[in-house]
A and B are shown apart, each in its own frame.
Chain A
Amino acid sequence: MSVIKTPNGYTLDNSGTRHVVDPVTRIEGHMRAEVNINSENIITNAVSSGTIWRGLEVILKGRDPRDAWAFVQRICGVCTGTHALTSVRSVENALGINIPENANSIRNIMQLSLQVHDHLVHFYHLHALDWVNPVNALKADPKATSALQQSVSPHHPNSSPGYFRDVQNRLKKFVESGQLGPFKNGYWTNPAYLLPPEADLMAVTHYLEALDFQKEIMKTRTIFGGKDTHPNWTVGGVPCPINMDGTGGVGGLNMVNLNQVKEILTQTKTFIDNVYIPDILAVGQFYKGWLYGGGLSSQNVMSYGDIPDKANDYSTENLMMPRGAIINGNLKEVHEIDLTDPEQIQEQVPHSWYKYPDGVKGLHPWDGITEPDFDVSTAKGSKHNIEELDENASYSWIKAPRWRGHAMEVGPLARYVIGYAKGDKEITDQLTYVLKTLDVPVTALFSTLGRTAARALEAQWAADKQIYFFDKLMANIKNGDSSTHGGEMWDPKDWPKEAKGVGFTEAPRGALAHWIKIKDTKIENYQCVVPTTWNGSPRDEAGNIGAFEASMMNTKVEVPHEPVEILRTLHSFDPCLACSTHVMTEEGEELITVTTGPIGS
């Protein structure tokens, strides 16, 4: 038993009962959480462990840099494409390649469509069951549910009592069949669920509607990239040519499939405005008293920024998603980030299942080393049957990245806090609207609910910006520019003997960057620091805990052996463990209200 004060302000006390959650489900990849809970049911010590490692950085050595996007795209099939985009940017950065304006617009539409899709699917299919009780929905009055639906979202067409009765009947049959499928062994009698039956029925109905609709959102990527999941990308531009009125126009983007893109973008915006945002506000109304889970969000947040308005300009001013870092909760100062500065981002491994050469504490990713070294000799249990991890030793496949020595939270909530701190008008308007509607102070943002709300607002923002870039694409074509690939430096014969670069994006889960070194036209070193590496990081050399661990601290757990609250908070980051095994994640923010806010119509 011990009590430890961490440099980042947490008191870790491991004297209470240890509870293990493994697997943490409804995430991408595999992860484990362990907590100590005291006699008052409060979490006093939190441990998060990434339990998957695939070694892609090792595999990339010696490959053609132009192929790297396809390998790293397979880091994650949920945030599909964002690693590919980060990769092609890293190669373009290394070789000084410029892409055409049209390619920038198309890439942005693809990246924004991922933001919308990922956030929507995350909320309904990975996160909602932490807030919504499908069994309780059976008790709902369909008429009252209809009235609720019409009050929170007057424009959504699926709102009649008969509609909700049909859904309820289908759900009833499903539950009565005794084969509960994905709902089996859920925590449906746990007092942590606070929604009335009608709100549960409305949300479960939208769980199904969203499952049907989400596949439409990604069709734009199928048009631009040929398939989804895992569309195609290319260094130097995009693979799809534009042929508006020439011979063989069906070989490229033409009026038919661009019309289809436009239609999908419009439908997407409507769905987010009429379903996702109102649901978040409805859920927020009932849970606004449950403001656990803020973790690092009120102290240290970071975003690299993304969505360049003009092509090839990755300066802070040209990025439509905010960039910067806030430390120690000082919102008055947003620090610039330099991904090439070896002093800023470093990865440590004292509590990870990797080893560095003797005497090396932290490494900048350009010089990063990924050498596995699994060891659980001090854990309880055995090597192939771990009962309790030992957080004083190595306990995770995730490294511990730090910005100037600080553990940081990344993701939608981080982006919204930074945008708010910088006075970004759209973000401030959205946040103000939500806070006002829910009648909560700004500090309510720093919570699990705040993270979940920020994600929804960002989906709304992204749905809007997709249309902006579609219009920009069409205007540019109208002005006579149909180029989608410049062909610059495609031939490795034109490359310098050595080059290095860094590419970055804001993945749905947070700040993502890839560092590449090229030598003799092959990859010499490739390192990815992903959102879940930041958020899910284990303790570092100095003893700082990471964002997941910080967010679980001091939370009250109603029924200790039913980990609803732990799942709720971890899910609010949208963990992506396949990524984090050298990657990371995060998100969030809060919502409110009944209509759709400043970006909504």
Chain B
Amino acid sequence: MAMVETFYDVMRRQGITRRSFLKFCGLTAAAMGLSPAYAGKIAHAMETKPRIPVLWLHGLECTCCSESFIRSAHPLAKDVILSMISLDYDDTIMAAAGHQAEAIIEETIEKYSGNYILACEGNPGLEQEHTGGMSCIIAGKPYTEQLRHAAKHAKAIISWGSCASWGCVQAASPNPTGATPIHKVPDLGNAPIIKVPGCPPIAEVMTAVITYILTFERLPSLDRQGRPKMFYSQRIHDKCYRRSHFDAGQFVEKWDDEAARKGYCLYKMGCKGPTTYNACSTIRWNGGLSFPIQAGHPCIGCSEDGFWDKGGFYNRLTSIHQFGVEENADEVGIAAATVVGGAVAVHAAVSALKRTQSKGDQE
């Protein structure tokens, strides 16, 4: 039997000395409030524990989550796959096909029951009348079967992207396939589910969720909706670099106008930043390079539940309870042109007030 590579092996290969490794174990013990004697036990565990197996299943989806994942700048997708996890099943990149591929799921369940992560990209279609529950067929069977089987023995489930988290585009009205997000699929077992929404999620957020679990050996803190708080507890609008223009009532009125060229607020172009919980305006995309608003397009709210059915992407937000002031954007904008100081002050004050009111809305 071949030697099983452990976390320790991985760390060693990545250039960490044994001395540093033991120090790391000691610090970890201290951080966990354990006596120094536990450092040896932690070291032992890390020396003997295999890379965590991951089954990455694909249902009704477009593969944008996988495409995003491979764009991660830190860590590189290569290093995640070679050194951190054991990506035993992922039909998008695996060498095996057909029954040799499906055999891997059985083997992983047999060998690692309760100890592997199930990563879900896409969702199952449950509609029966026209599609027979067969809008997504794998090995001659409905995807739902493969999903349930793998879910029941998993340690935890990651719902990648808006398909797995909310349903996304195929679940948009009238949802012809009965596309259903993972957490709403009946008879799935009890494994905890982490939602990482977005269409797709930000690459570095995806790899961060994985490395967080491996490093701290626990799931990240989740909000009420099951999303990691560290990435999904604030609105795009809260941290948008154009926020000052919003507060000042300076808005883009139409494509490529003078305001657009100056980088003013895109709220009146339909921006959904004020109602979208995601890390785009802080982590940004593709190695922190940019994000949709920075490139001149309003946020379409792609990490929100049902964002396809919340009115057009270019229609201004109006009926947002925790967010009343923007209905006055036109008036404020006009006022700002004439009585700049006063209008800005009033607008900013109302914005601040609304921020206070809406605090804690998400949790």
Tell me the A residues contacting B by CB distance below 8 Å.
20-30, 32, 51-56, 58-59, 63-64, 66-67, 70-71, 74-78, 80, 121, 125-126, 129, 170, 173-187, 208, 211-212, 214-215, 218-219, 222-232, 234, 236-237, 239-243, 246-248, 250-252, 257, 353, 371-376, 381, 383-387, 397, 482-485, 487, 490, 562-563, 567, 578
Contact = CB atoms under 8 A, between A and B. Distances in A.
Interface in B291-317: 291-297, 300, 302, 308, 312-314
B13 A173 contact: yes
Interface in B160-182: 168-170, 172-177, 179
- Residue among B87, B140, B263, B280 with most chain A CB within 10 A: B140
- Residue among A52, A383, A483 with most chain B CB within 10 A: A52
Contact of A222 (B82, B86, B172, B286): B286
A321 to B, nearest CB: 23
B91 interface: yes
B295 A225 contact: yes
A179 B4 contact: yes
8 contacts: A25-B93, A51-B138, A173-B13, A211-B76, A212-B76, A214-B70, A227-B290, A239-B296
Q: What does DSSP make chain B's interface, helix, strand, loop or mixed?
A: loop
Q: What does DSSP make chain A's interface, helix, strand, loop or mixed?
A: loop
B62 A75 contact: yes
Contacts of A242: 261
B174 A30 contact: no
Interface string B115-151: 0000000000100001111111111111101000000
Contact of B5 (A58, A67, A177, A485): A177
A27 B72 CA distance: 21
Interface stretch (B100-108, B221-229, B321-329, B345-353): B100-108
- Residue among B95, B131, B255 with most chain A CB within 10 A: B95
A178 B1 contact: yes
B237 interface: no
Contacts of B46: none
B260 interface: yes
- Residue among B70, B76, B202 with most chain A CB within 10 A: B70
Interface residues of B, number: 104
Contacts of A376: 132, 134
A228 B71 contact: yes
A334 B204 CA distance: 47
A80 B67 contact: yes
B4 A21 contact: no
A381 B141 CA distance: 10
Given A74-B168, A487-B255, A185 B100 contact: yes
Contacts of B169: 54, 56, 59, 71, 74
A23 B98 contact: yes
A232 B229 CA distance: 26
Given A226-B297, A485-B255, A23 B139 contact: yes
Given A22-B98, A241-B261, A374-B131, A219 B138 contact: no
A104 to B, nearest CB: 14
A23 B314 contact: no
Contact of A227 (B81, B85, B292): B292
B47 interface: no
B214 interface: no
Contact of B66 (A77, A185, A490): A77
Interface stretch (B18-26, B27-35, B50-58, B333-341): B50-58
Contact of B263 (A219, A252, A386, A490): A252
Contacts of A29: 58, 63
Contacts of A125: 70, 93
A536 B192 CA distance: 38
